[in-house]
Structure 1
């Protein structure tokens, strides 16, 4: 079967009754190719998600509790990682920490930060930037991930589309914590 021509940002379905299902399916897997078969009714779904993948003006703001320290992240994150290590549990006061990784050059820091440096399990350093007024850790720079800045998930104003793509230190995960992971497809 040959692939029909694709119109930019258009969705066509053979069965109007399953349009909602097809849209849910494509939202869960945004990196589908431009042509696919619907699994429910076998209808054809054609779409071009190129603009949805990388909106030119996409930026997110993460800030501390008092608003004095902030970071603006541009574009899509490289990954969203849920960490169950003891250090993240202590840092967050929770059962896990969530790091949203962006290319360092795609981030802008504003405000004054205090820095806490520690050595991680890798033997390399991590520098945590937190607000000296309220104590919120907004972002950190792990030496073992050169060129990336990790941003605390809970500090973002808009968390939409920031689903976890991996979990680490699962052996330390509390048994009552259940997290669904959506693997990131290479761009």
Structure 2
């Protein structure tokens, strides 16, 4: 049985991508890029298949604008707009499953402390035992350092632990840390998956995998 769940936040626990894309577009607008020339779907796909950093690099080069300025604007608008994001269906049930079966939930996110605030807004924060956010200054995923720290700090056995995320880098981090991996890909956007142990389009589908 797998009862220790290590969660990514954006696009896994909470449906933040609509706000993230909108924030990115607002940043482009502030730098003089008109909506007509912006492909929001393309921005989303790069964020999911790669990272926000990759999107910043690609679109700043494409539009001939300063990447550091776009990053600054994007961060500002994200903080404002992500605060209204909601958890995905099935998230709470899996959090409860881990606790009820003698395990725990652990957050591993590149987002700052705002992730904890959002969890608290929905009564989910108390269901977590440990946290790694951007404030902890670990190397970013797919490097496994933060995941290995959680394993060591909370004495999580490889065979009872899973990394749950929505991107290839989450899966690669889990694989490098020798834990099970689950890819949550609700709209089947991910092409290069990182070879997860299970791939689902709804969080509720993970239950059968966890209880094996």
TM-score by length of 1: 0.32
Greater relative contact order (CA < 8 Å, ≥ 6 in sequence): 2
Bigger Rg, which one: 1
Structure richer in helix, relative to its length: 2
TM-score by length of 2: 0.29
Structure richer in strand, relative to its length: 1
